[in-house]
Structure 1
Amino acid sequence: MSSFPPIPYIPSLTLPAFLFETPAASILLPVLSGVTVGYAISPSDTKNIYRRLKQPPLHPPAWVFGPVWTALYATMGYTAYRAWTTGTTSLDLEKFKLAKQGATLYTIQLGLNLLWTPLFFGLQRPIAATANILALGGVVGSLAYVWGQVDPVCGYLLAPYLGWLSFATYLCAGCGYLNNWNFSHAKEE
């Protein structure tokens, strides 16, 4: 049975250490980044596009996304802080290595996460957005596994994020499929 080689710690592809070492910075980075990306694309445009798209069953009202993502961003930020500080202060060399490896995965997942909204709502590219969220789910699954070895609580803290990403993947692919992978009809007239 073969498996993918793990993504190593890549300093040039990883957020600076101080963003992991300070709880406020760890938590505020994803929250403020998510808010910034959300407002970079007009919230009213986003709501209008969401309303005009054919939606799969069980789609939530648009107002649900803001509170859910804010909670998930705060939790992922706290998890980053906890995994980093637990691992980098550990006398266990393997936990130290895994904490740093997870920091690279975390940085990649945050980039993929922040790219999804511009792909889906800004550029209205449902195929690219679906590919993005599938990759994001894989990276977050790997991150939960890696940081769960540093501190099992960190793996559990990422479980709601993985659950929501699974649901969001269903919504993203469902919207793409139901709208023939073309959102041009959802543009404001």
Structure 2
Amino acid sequence: MKTLSFFRLVVAVGLCLGVGALGSLVTTPQIPTWYAGLVKPSWNPPNWAFPIAWTTLYVLMAVALWRLWQLHAPSPERRRAIVLWGLQLALNALWSPVFFGMEAPGAALVVVVALWLAIAASIWAAARIDRIAAWLLAPYIAWVTYATTLNAAIVALN
């Protein structure tokens, strides 16, 4: 049982950090070029803050998934929570290629709003079976709320 639990934790962390790594492949080359040329609001954080925030959030997301997957017996509620968690991760993975890869902040705003809704649904579903998993996602929705306003400001300013 401990081996299965550890395996599930490694899969969850690997999945989340993998999405982060793929996003950074699209993002990093654009930071000194296209992104540097955008007009950004005065409350835009420094570039170094993003990888720190996202790495922390990905680890919290992974632990939330692990809790849902490992600590709860199969049930429709668990399945719903995990499916919604997967949906938010897919939307998370989509944002960087749209914003940075396609250089499309407007389209990325649509993605990040959908992401916010998916995170809210994930928190709701997780809270029904594991309040700790739900709370682990709270910093994520807070950050994505901020990121959504930042994305919208970039659209407005450019």
**Match for 1:38 among 24, 30, 42?**
24
1:50 aligns with 2:61: no
1:107 to 86, 110, 114: 86
Q: Say yes or no: does 1:139 pair with 2:139.
A: no
**1 CA distance for matches of 2:143 and 2:128?**
22
Aligned-partner Cα distance in 1 for 2:47–2:150: 12
Contact 1:37/1:114 (8 A) holds in 2: yes
Offset, 1:85: 1.9
Q: Which whole-Å CA distance do the structure 2 matches of 1:139 and 1:99 have between them?
A: 16
Q: For the Cα contact (< 8 Å) 1:30–1:73, is it kept in 2?
A: yes
Runs ≥4 in structure 1, deviation > 6 angstroms? none
Query: Which one of 108, 114, 125 corresponds to residue 104 of structure 2?
Result: 125
- Larger % of helix: which? 2
Q: What SS is found at the alignment partner of 2:34? A: helix
TM-score normalised over the length of structure 1: 0.76
Letter in 1 for 2:71: T
| Unaligned runs of at least 5 residues, structure 2 | none
**How many residues are matched?**
155
How does the TM-score come out when normalised to structure 2?
0.91
The answer to whether the Cα contact below 8 Å between 1:31 and 1:73 also exists between their aligned partners in 2 is yes
Q: What percentage of aligned pairs have identical amino acids? A: 30
- Segments of structure 1 that go 5 or more residues without pairing to the other structure are 1-17, 90-95, 180-189
Q: Compute the displacement of 1:141 (Å).
A: 0.3
Q: CA deviation at 1:50?
A: 2.5
RMSD of equivalent CA atoms: 1.9
1:42: Cα distance to partner?
5.7
Q: Distance in 1 between matches of 2:126 and 2:151?
A: 27
Q: CA deviation at 1:49?
A: 2.4
